[in-house]
Amino acid sequence: MFTPFAKLYAGLLRVLPIPQRLREWWNRQAPHRQDRYAMLAPLVAVLFFFTAIVVAVGYLRIEEMEREQEALRRDVEYAQQRLRLRLLERQEDLTRLAQQISNQELSTTQFRHRAEVILHLYPEIQGLSWVTPVSGRASSPSNAAPGERFRLRASQGYSPAAQALANYPSATASASASLTGSLDAFAQARELHQPAYARPWLMSADGPSWLNLFLPLQIQGRFGGVLLAEYSVDALYDYSISADVSARYATSLRSASGQVLAGSRVPRPKAATSSNGLTAWLGWAGQAEQQVLVSPAGTGLVLHAQAYRASQGLIGSSLFWLVTMLSVMTAWMLIANWRHTRRRVQAQRALLLETSFRRAMENSMPTGMRALDPQGRITYVNAAFCAMTGWSEQELVGAMPPFPFWPEDSHELLAARLEDELQGRITSSGLQVRIQRKDGSLFDARIHVSPLIDANGQQTGWMTSMTDITEPNRVREQLYASYERFTTVLEALDASVSVAPLGGGELLFANKMYRQWFGDQNLGHVQLSSQAGHGGMDTPAGAAARDRDNQDAVDDLAGLPASSLLDAADDPAEAENAEIHVETLDKWLEVRTRYLTWVDGRLAQMVIATDITPRRRAEEQAAAQAERAQTANRLITMGEMASSIAHELNQPLAAITNYCNGMISRIQARQITEEDLLGALDKTSRQAQRAGQIIQRIRAFVKRSEPKRVAFEAGALVDEAIELADIELRRNNVRLTRQIADGLPNLMVDPILIEQVLINLLKNAAEAIVQARRPLPQRRIDLQIQAAEVDGRPVVEFVVTDRGHGIAPEMMGHLYEAFHTTKAGGMGIGLSLCRSIVESHQGRMRAENLYNGPQAGTEAPEVVGCRFSFWLPLEPEPAREATTTRGDKPPSPSPQEDDRIRT
């Protein structure tokens, strides 16, 4: 985003004659980069400004210093000139005097007189001495030995140097360093025959300083001593340096080593010595300095001048600091301003984001919003409100009541509502109104009102939210209708339906039938579900204990994840299903229980109980009848076999009669021994026993008894059955062959009933053979008993194969139906009973015809007999036995079996 700076610079770039490439470069930069450059530019400008000021101040300062230096140089040179002139003039006068002495024109007195005049005229000359060699004769300078002695011939004024010279050279050892300079000059003047200045010297640190001039004397061409003039350096300074020079500069006369001999003793500032470039510029210690040699005095005397500290430096540095401060302040303000701008931009961006977020929210909201001012004028409507009513924003904003979306017939009512709204009398739950769309259609809406508060906390009107509740109303009505239907169906059910949470004492739902049977409490639900869990009849004594068990079971279930229970409930095999007898109602109920997730998410158990008392009674009756039928069938069988049995009984009876008659006649003829009699009686008794056995077996077979299962060996079962059936077979000239597999396991069966099945099948087989009039070799029945496997379960299979006429076509499909027979005196209930007996033992029965291969000239293969077989499982399924108390209703034959029958 462009900040004001960036905008400004963009504008400047357009206006200013900036090269095209720079402009292009600027345009290529990303906005945030432009923003940064724009922010940096003022800072750079301030830096430039600051540098320019520093450079300008420095430049001026250097200029000024140079000017000062120039002035100083001129002034110093002028002063030096004056000093030099003065020294030269004095030297000239003294040279003249020395000339007169050399010409021996002056006596000592005259000399003294002249010297006095000179000292008087020239105050800088403090002493004037005439020094001659002690010998009185002039010696050549070349052979002047160190041991040569001098004396002071005459002197005027102060003359420490002349004194020292007079003691020369003995004084040399004790002479001070400065005096040695004088001695050197003396030697120089004597050798060169020229005036020589000695190095200036100080008597003491603060004492006066002296400059000695030696003028050689040539007396008759020989060295005749010197004229020594002693200048006071202070006087020389005072009379040579003009006042205005010494007022402007700290001037002084110094020795070559820099020692101040006369004049101002201004110490040299430290900064000047370090001569730091910037500080010199800034004028802290930029005083100009100049020194020149005073030429006739040789290298020993230096005129030194230094400008006094000017206020210029201070002013310059103040200006500098002012500019520095202003620059820093400007930079700081720029940065602060930039940061402030950035914060403002951020705030602006956040505000924009917030605004667009709110707008998006407002537009996406299905709730219509409308703002009213205190007079009831619409000041704002959102998009949803316009979409809802069909009126545009322009049409609605500014509208006064009655509003265009008020239906014609409810103006008064809505005006009253609006009044309530404006008075703040609308409750928080809102109110329902009817709204008219622009196209005239109506819809129901619910409105909520809240006060509209501005930023100052003042209420400026009311904000109303409006929701179209036509659809929710319709859904609610539909839901209510479906609920009605649902409850009507459930209430009208002739089964009791109840739902209770696991482990909870409340009843979540109970239909009318439940309430009729058990009232409003959940006791009935608990009783039904617990008994269903135990799958048996209830007794009041065991109810409490079972209730506890049930609670335990519930607790166990409560620990399980709900999903596993619900999964189990989806599996029909897992849903509990039991028939129980409820004592209090004296009803048999079929109870189904399922787990389900209740509407509030809790795990609950639903119990559906259907009254099955009539069916149960019918089943009991049917069972009783079946039992009676079985007994009747056995009687009928016996009846049918009566003639055979009578014939069978006749034999032992006839034998008994024969034995008795024989014994009577032999006893009467007294021809019998006791031994024979006992033998005959024994035989008689055995025959009677045999008859008794037959009668006993018949009685046992036909005796009606409760069905009971015992473990019974398959072979033994067959023996018993054959004993009875064999009588009939033998009568009909039918042979029975049997193949009984070894080691057959025991069967849990009711032996009388299985015997009955076997007798029935053998009897039917014999009858079929008789009816088919088979020749003697074919009059045969095969009985096979073997172990087999059905669906992986071990079973014992019984197979009866005959050579009869086979099952008649009209009997196909009705073979096991009662009263279907092809025999003249037949009842047609034998096979029906056989099947129900076999199936009550969880076995299965089947029948099939046996065929020959197709004969020449005939299309269909010939029936040569039939085979009836049935199997019994070794162990009946305990589960089914335990959980269901239904009667032994035979299941209908499977399609496979039907096929076999039809084969």
List residues binding ligand ADP (CB under 6 A): 760, 764-765, 768, 802, 804-808, 811, 815, 821-823, 826-831, 866
Q: Which residue, 551 or 732, is less far from ligand ADP as judged by CB?
A: 732
| Distance (Å, whole) CA 208 – CA 201 | 9
Question: Helix (H, G, I), strand (E, B), or coil: what is residue 857?
Answer: coil
Give the nearest distance from C-beta 846 to ligand ADP in angstroms: 13
Give the nearest distance from C-beta 626 to ligand ADP in angstroms: 14
Q: Which residue, 304 or 805, is less far from ligand ADP as judged by CB?
A: 805
Q: Which residue, 106 or 800, is less far from ligand ADP as judged by CB?
A: 800
What long-range pairs does 897-903 form, CB within 8 A, spacing at least 24?
Answer: 897/844, 897/846, 898/813, 900/846, 900/847, 900/848, 901/807, 901/812, 901/813, 901/815, 901/846, 901/847, 901/848, 902/812, 902/813, 903/848, 903/849
| Distance (Å, whole) CA 592 – CA 596 | 13
Q: Which residue, 589 or 815, is less far from ligand ADP as judged by CB?
A: 815
| Distance (Å, whole) CA 326 – CA 207 | 54
Give the nearest distance from C-beta 780 to ligand ADP in angstroms: 13
Look at the block and give the residue holding tokens 């004088």.
Answer: 182
Structure tokens given for 637:
């069988």
Q: Which residue, 421 or 848, is less far from ligand ADP as judged by CB?
A: 848
Residue 595 half-sphere exposure, CB side, CA atoms within 13 Å? 22
Give the nearest distance from C-beta 864 to ligand ADP in angstroms: 11
Beta strands 780-790 and 735-740 are: parallel
| Distance (Å, whole) CA 493 – CA 320 | 108
Q: Which of 380, 56, 91, 49 is nearest to 211 (CA)?
A: 91
Give the nearest distance from C-beta 595 to ligand ADP in angstroms: 48
DSSP E strand stretches across 632-679:
none
Asked if omega into 652 is within 30° of 0 (cis), the reply is no
Beta strands 495-501 and 603-611 are: antiparallel
Q: Which residue, 190 or 763, is less far from ligand ADP as judged by CB?
A: 763
Give the nearest distance from C-beta 765 to ligand ADP in angstroms: 4
Q: Which residue, 183 or 845, is less far from ligand ADP as judged by CB?
A: 845
Q: Which residue, 454 or 810, is less far from ligand ADP as judged by CB?
A: 810
- What is the SS3 assignment for 169-206? CHHHCCCCHHHHHHHHHHHHHHHHCCCEECCCEECCCC
| Distance (Å, whole) CA 389 – CA 392 | 8
Residue 276 half-sphere exposure, CB side, CA atoms within 13 Å? 9
Q: Which residue, 427 or 892, is less far from ligand ADP as judged by CB?
A: 892
Give the nearest distance from C-beta 766 to ligand ADP in angstroms: 8
Q: Which residue, 79 or 811, is less far from ligand ADP as judged by CB?
A: 811
Longest dimension (CA), the chain: 248
Q: Which residue, 2 or 851, is less far from ligand ADP as judged by CB?
A: 851
Could you tell me how far CA 242 lies from the centroid of its own chain?
96
Q: Which residue, 591 or 727, is less far from ligand ADP as judged by CB?
A: 727
| Contact present, 178 and 201 (Cβ < 8 Å) | yes
Give the nearest distance from C-beta 706 to ligand ADP in angstroms: 25
Give the nearest distance from C-beta 751 to ligand ADP in angstroms: 21
Give the nearest distance from C-beta 504 to ligand ADP in angstroms: 58
Give the nearest distance from C-beta 888 to ligand ADP in angstroms: 19
| Distance (Å, whole) CA 251 – CA 245 | 8
* DSSP per residue, 272-289: HHHT-HHHHHHTSS---E
State the Cα angle at 349 between 336 and 381, rounded to 5°: 140
Burial of 572 (0-12, 13-18, 19+ CB in 10 A): exposed
| Distance (Å, whole) CA 97 – CA 119 | 13
| Distance (Å, whole) CA 263 – CA 209 | 11
| Contact present, 800 and 761 (Cβ < 8 Å) | yes
Structure tokens given for 298:
């040789």
Q: Which residue, 119 or 837, is less far from ligand ADP as judged by CB?
A: 837
Residue 370 half-sphere exposure, CB side, CA atoms within 13 Å? 29
Q: Which residue, 744 or 768, is less far from ligand ADP as judged by CB?
A: 768
Structure tokens given for 719:
């023996």
Q: Which residue, 515 or 900, is less far from ligand ADP as judged by CB?
A: 900
Structure tokens given for 366:
């299905």
Q: Which residue, 501 or 830, is less far from ligand ADP as judged by CB?
A: 830
